[in-house]
Structure 1
Amino acid sequence: MRERLRDPRTYIVGAAILIVAYLVLVPLIYLFRDTFTGRSGLSFAAFSRAYGGDTQAGRMLFNSLAFSAGSAALSLVVGTVLAYVQVRTDAPFKGLFFAASLVPLVIPGILYAVSWIFLADPNVGLLNTLALEPLTGQSLNVFGMGGMIWVQGLHYAPVAFLLMVAAFRAIDPSLEESALMSGARQLTVIRRVTVPVLRPAFVAAVLLLFVQSLESFEVPALLGLQNGTYVFTSRIYLSLQSYPIDYGTAGAYAITLLAIATAGVLMGSRLTRRSSDFQTITGKAFRPRPVALGRARPWVGAGVLAYFVVAVVLPVAVLIYASLLKFYAKPSARTFDTISLGNYRAIFENDTTITAFKNSLILGLGAAAVVMLLTSVIAWTVVRTRARGRAALDLLTFIPIVIPGLVIGLALSFVYLRSSLPIYGTLLILLIAYTTKFLPYGMRYASGAMAQMSSELEESAMVSGASWLQTFRRVLLPLASSGILVGFVYILIVSFRELSSAILLYSPGKEVVSVLLWEQFENGKLTTVAAIGVVMIAILTALVAIAYKLGARFGLESTDDR
């Protein structure tokens, strides 16, 4: 017992566990306590206010589920088709899939929604004014449920694509080849063989996309509030913008949203528990044989190009176009005469914009450093030791993945508005929110890196007289640097574009870039939003390139070392 108390790892690991427990559990405890507590003790008054009377809560619940399910379905269908084309066919233009898969990282949700407002606004949208109205007399309307599902589904289709690419590559093609040799047509093989084998991947992908859409704030707020289409996240936000602020009602909505998200994740875990029934990878090597498309090849290639144009080229191009205008208008000789770099000069001469970019960079670097440091210690405890409760510890770091960002922001408001610590409205509370939200992602990178290393390396260092702290710092961390560095850059990227957990916690002068974009949109300065967005996309693209190069470089070095 005395030796354990003298061992520094006892205190380091213990401190990391306490910090993670504080970050994850304390806000949830305050959220539940303040929502269910009234003047006389336990109370459901907050739920009565949230769901009673003329609140149209049933309609909001239906909208939330319809939006999440529709977006997940669209993403899954598009992503699965693209993955099949990429892995199993000889379709042209496959290099475009990699560029398209970066969309969720490079273009934040708020910018993707704004770009589709520029494209499909019923009054000034370029697709309407330049194509549909002159040709058909009809127009698209991106505002409402249909537009919300379209934008969200298209934005997250690359996520489904990446998930399904891995699944298609893991299928033994001999199953499909046997069916083809037995006389089955290609479509029959896909329906009767490929789809059933991919069922676990389908379930995991659709539930992940469902939960991500359920917690989405930007798309429902920008495209739904215009015509009164409310979902949980937009209702929470509006509850906190009213006067007087009703934290109880917001808490009731937040707890319901948290319950639905948790149920979705648990359902996914239960449905994928029997995934061994669908395993097709054995010790026998195999290589998928591309399906020859024949006469359909140019048509499939045209479809690939069309998707890339619609999902990537048009949204980015229209942001660049709008950023060069003082007032947004359709292309014409008069409009082109007004093109200038005035918006870019204005944002770089604006102290608020510069401060917002600095704050985003500080918070991104801080969150990435804190998350990867914490999760490296936790990952060592979970992966490298046999400590009791390590499975519970792993689960603890996973909990924030089911907590929507807006709920994290609200829960932290409950904690620090009632705390003597003067950190509400500071960068520190935003750092706490980011650290909490991105713990699961850091844990996946850190635990993956730790699991790849043999315990012999650690044991050799300890036998040679190195302390645990020296071994951790000079052996484990350098060998795990590939996963840790890529995780660091990934968290920096997603922190830079995070809005939902920051929108309730910032104060004037402490804005981040995503909040600045939201403020400019609310003020009607759409061309300024486009200019800030273009700069933000350029920065995020550079960060993604750095992450890719770091992953390739350190991955290659670790391979060479072995």
Structure 2
Amino acid sequence: MKITRAAALGGLLVLLGFLTVYPLGMLIYGSLHSTPPGMAGEFNLDGYRALLSERALNVLWNSLTIAFTKTVLSLALAVFFSWVVARTDTPFRGAIEILITLPFFIPPILTATAWGMLGNPEVGTINLAWKWLTGTTEPLVNVYSWGGVVWHMMQYSVPFLFLLLVDAFRSMDPALEESSRMSGASRMQTFCRVTFMLMLPMLTSAFILSFIRGIEAFESPVIFGTPAGIEVLTTEIYNLISQQAVPNYQAATAYGFLSVGLMLALVLLRWRLLGGRSFTTVSGKGYSPRVTPLGRWRWLTFLACMLFFVLTVALPVVQLALSSFFKFFGFYQRDMFTLDHYRSIWANRDIWEALRNTLLLGLVGASTTMVLGSLAAYLTVRTQWKGRRVVEVLTWLPWTMPGIVLGIGFLWGFVLLPDWIPIYGTINALLLAYIALGTPVAVRVMSGAFGQLSKDIEESSRVHGATFWQTLWRILIALAWPSFAVGWILLFFGILRELSASILLYSADTKVLSVVMLQMWTGGNPEEVSVIGLMLVGLVLLFRFVELRLMRRQLAP
């Protein structure tokens, strides 16, 4: 039995190492190698010398500035929305919570293309309406700018932060704030000295995670930043590999390694800021979370929340529907109405092949990742096996690698594998990348679920003769099934929206919908992109509905 456990642990460590340590090691290798993957060359430091150029410094500055700006603005909005939903009497708070989180599940490439048609300075729908209403020739908005990049990144950053913060607001004992008020502190003093300080761990974690997501963002900068000459780390990596006659893999990989260094520095900074400090907000004393009556202001907070939903979901979806029915977006005359774009998509075999690949990768990738995450979570939460801390670190490591950086690491790694391991250029290359990117999510979801189960249940199963695998599947996963299902759907959404790693690892036969949409957009076919976007919206709404049903079942008494 010990031999079986040791073999299982060893196999898990090898698999996790291949998904995390191997691509990280290949990043180091590629940053020192002078030629593209698979070609003979020499080792030098030219890639790192490129990081000392003025262009590289500008790229780094752009990345940090955009990530910081969108994080500060997004965090402020997320805190406001969390407070509204968790601590006020704003009407329809349950519906508001669902609507605010919806943009997180919509692929960014979809909303990026929609806002590219809404905010185009020449023929964008918003600007056409503005010019018609005011008679001016100047556009109201221009998404191909710094503001456009930040605004689009905020559309999925605010829901992400809201998901992290809203439960923290719910779990905070209101008596702590009431004691401050009774002691003579004003509302602002109470917020700064009590609420803010008690929320500091969650706010810091949320800030760091959002900042990391800002550094690794790809869709917003490539759609809105590149036309305006705004380059960030992810787009610079993409341009060095895909937009040059002779790809510069060495410099691109060095940029990737720089990104990993930034991620690690941010995590270490958080540990330094919060290490050794206590922030207890929930005790054994029972309490009923109280809401703040807003009076007539409650309808204003309701409208503010609905405005966010309209701008981030309703307006883009309406734009996609509108442009899908006209020959050219921006020309909405009656004689321009057509169904040709739907016919074109219906007859395009490449689109259906990409859809098949996307759904296949979503189904297999989410299932495999959840099984892997369940095993890793079991080891780290419910056993005392030696090596479980190594497993924990390996499952955490992908957080430090943006998708496009992990894609570079796997690109080098797959090319250098022996011929009898044919991964490069196959759909398995995308599958492994998706599993690596999703493993941290799966482990965190299942760790929380397993941590709530008594060990007596497991021991009783083993006493009655069940094997380890029977106990894991029939008892633990069966009891944690709602969390498993929710994690599966989150991972499916993640694969559906993934672009940055896919853009480097796909081949002619393994394209996914996100890659096809980007290629069609850059190829000047926004109307057909709109049709694909509507298909994805339908998938998102369907799976979001299923997820909400599962969550309600999980929370039901």
Q: Which residue of 1 aligns with 2:145?
A: 144
Conserved in 2, the CA contact under 8 Å of 1:144 and 1:224? yes
Q: Which residue of 1 aligns with 2:112?
A: 113
Conserved in 2, the CA contact under 8 Å of 1:74 and 1:150? no
Number of aligned pairs?
Answer: 547
Is 1:180 equivalent to 2:176 in the alignment? no
Is 1:271 equivalent to 2:273 in the alignment? yes
Letter in 1 for 2:247: I
Is 1:246 equivalent to 2:248 in the alignment? yes
Letter in 1 for 2:544: V
Q: Which residue of 2 aligns with 1:405?
A: 403
Whole-Å separation in 1 of the counterparts to 2:475 and 2:86: 38
Conserved in 2, the CA contact under 8 Å of 1:93 and 1:304? no
262-271 or 64-73, which moves further after superposition? 262-271
Matches within 5 A, 1:524-543: 524-543=524-543
Is 1:513 equivalent to 2:509 in the alignment? no
Is 1:368 equivalent to 2:369 in the alignment? no
- Structure 1 residue 305: Cα displacement: 2.9
Alpha-carbon RMSD across the aligned residues, in angstroms, is 2.1
2:416 alignment partner, SS class: coil
- Structure 1 residue 308: Cα displacement: 2.5
- Structure 1 residue 211: Cα displacement: 0.3
1:56 alignment partner, SS class: helix
Whole-Å separation in 1 of the counterparts to 2:271 and 2:353: 42
Is 1:299 equivalent to 2:300 in the alignment? yes
Q: Which residue of 2 aligns with 1:156?
A: 157
Whole-Å separation in 1 of the counterparts to 2:41 and 2:526: 49
1:116 alignment partner, SS class: helix
1:503 alignment partner, SS class: helix
Change (3 A) 1:378 1:71: same
- Structure 1 residue 507: Cα displacement: 1.0
Is 1:16 equivalent to 2:12 in the alignment? yes
Q: Which residue of 2 aligns with 1:99?
A: 98
**CA deviation string 1:209-261 (max 9, x = no partner):** 10011101110000010021000000000000212111101111101111112
Whole-Å separation in 2 of the counterparts to 1:305 and 1:35: 47
Whole-Å separation in 2 of the counterparts to 1:330 and 1:83: 40
Change (3 A) 1:464 1:143: same
Is 1:260 equivalent to 2:256 in the alignment? no
Letter in 2 for 1:469: W
Whole-Å separation in 1 of the counterparts to 2:554 and 2:338: 42
Q: Which residue of 2 aligns with 1:57?
A: 56
Whole-Å separation in 2 of the counterparts to 1:413 and 1:286: 53
Conserved in 1, the CA contact under 8 Å of 2:101 and 2:162? no
- Structure 1 residue 275: Cα displacement: 5.1
- Structure 1 residue 274: Cα displacement: 4.2
Conserved in 2, the CA contact under 8 Å of 1:200 and 1:271? no
List gaps (5 residues or longer) in structure 2.
35-39
Whole-Å separation in 1 of the counterparts to 2:289 and 2:553: 28
Conserved in 1, the CA contact under 8 Å of 2:362 and 2:496? yes
Conserved in 2, the CA contact under 8 Å of 1:172 and 1:281? yes
Conserved in 1, the CA contact under 8 Å of 2:96 and 2:306? no
- Structure 1 residue 270: Cα displacement: 3.2
- Structure 1 residue 555: Cα displacement: 5.2
Conserved in 2, the CA contact under 8 Å of 1:416 and 1:424? yes
Letter in 1 for 2:126: L
453-462 or 33-42, which moves further after superposition? 33-42
Is 1:236 equivalent to 2:237 in the alignment? yes
Whole-Å separation in 1 of the counterparts to 2:24 and 2:153: 28
Change (3 A) 1:15 1:523: same
Change (3 A) 1:378 1:523: same
**CA deviation string 1:82-125 (max 9, x = no partner):** 11122222223424422333334432111121121122111112
Is 1:167 equivalent to 2:168 in the alignment? yes
Q: Which residue of 2 aligns with 1:280?
A: 281
2:505 alignment partner, SS class: coil
Change (3 A) 1:456 1:60: same
Whole-Å separation in 2 of the counterparts to 1:384 and 1:82: 36
Change (3 A) 1:302 1:377: closer
**CA deviation string 1:33-78 (max 9, x = no partner):** 22124699763111123433xx511111110001110111111011
Conserved in 1, the CA contact under 8 Å of 2:100 and 2:309? no
1:43 alignment partner, SS class: coil
- Structure 1 residue 315: Cα displacement: 1.7
Whole-Å separation in 1 of the counterparts to 2:193 and 2:477: 47
Is 1:448 equivalent to 2:448 in the alignment? yes
Conserved in 1, the CA contact under 8 Å of 2:144 and 2:228? yes
- Structure 1 residue 554: Cα displacement: 4.8
Conserved in 2, the CA contact under 8 Å of 1:145 and 1:229? yes
Is 1:77 equivalent to 2:76 in the alignment? yes
- Structure 1 residue 418: Cα displacement: 2.5
Whole-Å separation in 2 of the counterparts to 1:129 and 1:100: 28
Conserved in 2, the CA contact under 8 Å of 1:100 and 1:158? no
Q: Which residue of 2 aligns with 1:547?
A: 547
**CA deviation string 1:401-426 (max 9, x = no partner):** 11100011111111122332332221
Letter in 1 for 2:352: I
Q: Which residue of 1 aligns with 2:37?
A: none
Conserved in 2, the CA contact under 8 Å of 1:30 and 1:415? yes
Matches within 5 A, 1:4-43: 4-5=2-3, 8-37=4-33, 43=44
- Structure 1 residue 181: Cα displacement: 3.6
- Structure 1 residue 360: Cα displacement: 0.5
So what's the TM-score if we normalise by structure 1?
Answer: 0.92
**CA deviation string 1:440-467 (max 9, x = no partner):** 0111122222222222222222222222
Conserved in 2, the CA contact under 8 Å of 1:75 and 1:156? yes
- Structure 1 residue 330: Cα displacement: 5.1
Change (3 A) 1:154 1:465: closer
Matches within 5 A, 1:305-384: 305-329=306-330, 331=332, 334=333, 336-384=334-382
Change (3 A) 1:266 1:339: farther
Letter in 1 for 2:195: T
Letter in 2 for 1:307: F
Change (3 A) 1:279 1:473: closer
List gaps (5 residues or longer) in structure 1.
none
Conserved in 2, the CA contact under 8 Å of 1:204 and 1:272? no
- Structure 1 residue 18: Cα displacement: 1.3
96-105 or 388-397, which moves further after superposition? 96-105
Whole-Å separation in 1 of the counterparts to 2:202 and 2:147: 26
- Structure 1 residue 134: Cα displacement: 3.9
Change (3 A) 1:459 1:519: same
Whole-Å separation in 2 of the counterparts to 1:488 and 1:175: 37
